[in-house]
A and B are shown apart, each in its own frame.
Chain A
Amino acid sequence: MNVWMIAATVTTCCLIPCGVVCMRGDPEVRLVGLEGAATILVIVFVLLGEGVHRLVFLDLPLTLALLAFGGGLVFARFLERWM
């Protein structure tokens, strides 16, 4: 296990607080937890790709970073207008 995998393990554990926030509270609070979890997942995928030396895996966090932005905007506009 190299330093990238250790960092990926520590960062993966940070998904737990965001998951707890996603499961309780008001909808806008849950949205903040979802956005935080998406950012953490991007970091985890980058670290895993570097840790296993399969750099083709970096396409996944690149796509996720773009789609998380669009998804977060859609959720925010939905909360603002229709809920």
Chain B
Amino acid sequence: MIAEWAVRILLWAGVVAVVAGSLGILVARTVFDRLHYAGLLSSLGAVGVTAAVAIHEGWTQAGMKCALIGVIILFTNPVLTHATTRAARVRQFGKLMPGRHERVRFADQPGYVGGDEPEDQ
């Protein structure tokens, strides 16, 4: 009985996360915002659904396969998100890290003049 409710909760939480993540990818403005929603989709969405199927199947071959799929997505997606973020930053700013004489000023610090990237000094 508890397992049935756990399966239902995990399944529909995963489906809701997939719906919210896909809509977020569509409506977000920048590529970095979109990546946040892709993380929601692949963490709570994929892991929730695969965990629901794994609990429903129990310790069978199918259940183990679903658990393996969830673990693979859980561990490979952050690497993929990092690689995509790195590529997007290099494409937008021409480099990955700030320069040696470059100070990154945040919006609540004096000297911040706005914009996405401070100028080279």
Binding site for B on A (CB under 8 A): 3-4, 7, 10-11, 14-18, 20-21, 26-29, 31-33, 35-36, 39-40, 42-43, 46-47, 49-50, 55, 58-59, 61-62, 65-66, 69, 72-73, 76-77, 79-80, 83
Task: Determine the chain B residues whose CB is within 8 A of the CB of A20 once the complex forms.
Answer: 26
Task: Determine the chain B residues whose CB is within 8 A of the CB of A58 once the complex forms.
Answer: 62, 65-66, 69
Task: Determine the chain B residues whose CB is within 8 A of the CB of A69 once the complex forms.
Answer: 72, 76-77, 79-80
* Majority secondary structure, A binding face: helix
How distant is the Cα of A73 from the Cα of B78 in the complex, in angstroms? 11
Is B86 a contact partner of A80 (Cβ separation < 8 A)?
yes
How distant is the Cα of A27 from the Cα of B34 in the complex, in angstroms? 13
Contact of A46 among B19, B53, B61 (CB under 8 A): B53
Task: Determine the chain A residues whose CB is within 8 A of the CB of B62 once the complex forms.
Answer: 49-50, 55, 58
How distant is the Cα of A46 from the Cα of B83 in the complex, in angstroms? 26
- The total number of A-B Cβ pairs within 8 Å is 142
Number of chain B interface residues as a range: 35 or more
Contact of B25 among A4, A32, A83 (CB under 8 A): A32
Query: Given A40-B18, A77-B83, A7 and B12 touching (CB < 8 A)?
Result: yes
Contact of A77 among B66, B77, B87 (CB under 8 A): B87
Is B45 a contact partner of A76 (Cβ separation < 8 A)?
no
Task: Determine the chain B residues whose CB is within 8 A of the CB of A47 once the complex forms.
Answer: 49, 53
Is A76 a contact partner of B83 (Cβ separation < 8 A)?
yes
How distant is the Cα of A39 from the Cα of B88 in the complex, in angstroms? 20
How distant is the Cα of A39 from the Cα of B19 in the complex, in angstroms? 12
Task: Determine the chain B residues whose CB is within 8 A of the CB of A66 once the complex forms.
Answer: 72, 76
Counting chain B CB atoms within 10 Å of each CB, the highest count among A18, A29, A76 belongs to A76
Task: Determine the chain A residues whose CB is within 8 A of the CB of B57 once the complex forms.
Answer: 50, 55
